């Protein structure tokens, strides 16, 4: 069994609840979505067997919060992902999954080996894609077996009705999950900050805990 991995590196986590934590990143090649705001364009990969990848991870000698399995979309390679998660778990690494939150059947097969799930909420007016409400609902119900938080990208074209529906989905499927509001870094910041305040008010109204977090790795210029 071999996995397609675009890169392995260490850095700080630039998004979400664990902003600033040192992690080893394993970036999986390939994604099942094409969001219009995507900032991760992958053009090449290397093939690893699970043991090969695990041995490479063991070369990192510093103290790390966790291993971030990111992408692309790691769950597209669920069988390989499951095997490396088993190895890292036994090796006393904490397993942190970054995912677009759409592949619930695949998540079910690996959830026992994951410690933290960082799940995207793909609002259709933000992504330019069709809605994924049911996929997200099923995914979040499974992810809530572990520590989970939700991230969503706020764009100039994000519609309030989409955002409200997303809030209600979170409240119903995983009431304790915190929502991270992330501004699209490629758009007008002043306008987006005004919009962000409106969306924070909506979170308070719908009783969903939220916080706004910049992509700090881009601000300070690290990978």
184 vs 39: CA distance, rounded Å = 10
Tell me the per-residue pLDDT of 68-92, one tens digit each, with 9 for 90 and over. 999 999 999 999 999 999 999 999 9
Q: Which of 167, 214, 210 is nearest to 189 (CA)?
A: 214
Taking each helix axis from N to C end, the angle separating 50-57 and 78-90, rounded to the nearest 10 degrees, works out to 40
The pLDDT, as a whole number, for residue 219 is 55
For the record, the structure tokens of 149 come out as: 């938080």
CA dihedral (54, 59, 60, 63) positive or negative = positive
Residue 115 CA to chain centroid, in angstroms? 13
Tell the burial category of 152 from Cβ atoms under 10 Å away from its Cβ (0-12, 13-18, 19+).
buried
Which domain does 81 fall in, by range? 3-220
The pLDDT, as a whole number, for residue 40 is 83
| Residues 6 or more apart in contact with residue 129 via CB below 8 angstroms | 33, 34, 35, 122
Domain count of the fold of the chain:
1
Looking at residue 120, which CATH number applies to its domain? 3.20.20.70
| Paired residues of 99 in beta bridges | 119
The pLDDT, as a whole number, for residue 213 is 82
The pLDDT, as a whole number, for residue 188 is 81
Tell me the per-residue pLDDT of 155-208, one tens digit each, with 9 for 90 and over. 999 999 999 999 999 999 999 999 999 998 888 878 888 899 999 999 999 999
Asked if 14 and 218 touch (Cβ cutoff 8 Å), the reply is yes
Q: Is 110 helix (H, G, I), strand (E, B) or coil?
A: helix
Question: Average per-residue pLDDT in the chain?
Answer: 94
């Amino acid at each position: 069994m071999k996995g397609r991995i675009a890169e392995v590196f260490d850095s700080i986590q630039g998004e979400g609840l664990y902003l600033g934590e040192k992690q080893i990143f394993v970036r999986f090649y390939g994604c099942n979505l094409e969001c219009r705001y995507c900032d991760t364009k992958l053009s090449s990969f290397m093939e690893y067997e699970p043991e090969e990848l695990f041995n490479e991870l063991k070369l990192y000698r510093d103290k790390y919060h966790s291993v971030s399995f990111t992408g692309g979309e790691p769950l597209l390679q669920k069988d390989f992902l499951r095997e490396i998660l088993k190895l890292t778990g036994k090796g006393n690494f904490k397993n942190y999954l970054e995912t677009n939150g759409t592949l619930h059947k695949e998540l079910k097969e690996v959830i026992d080996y994951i410690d933290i799930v960082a799940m995207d909420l793909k609002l259709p007016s933000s992504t330019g894609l069709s809605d994924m409400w049911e996929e997200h609902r099923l995914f979040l119900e499974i992810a809530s077996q572990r520590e989970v938080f939700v991230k969503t990208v706020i764009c100039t074209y994000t519609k309030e009705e989409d955002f409200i529906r997303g809030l209600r989905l979170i409240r119903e499927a995983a009431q304790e999950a915190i929502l991270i509001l992330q501004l699209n870094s490629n758009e007008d910041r002043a306008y987006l900050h005004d919009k962000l305040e409106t969306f924070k008010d909506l979170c308070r109204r719908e009783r969903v805990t939220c916080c706004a977090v910049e992509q700090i790795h881009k601000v300070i210029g690290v990978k």
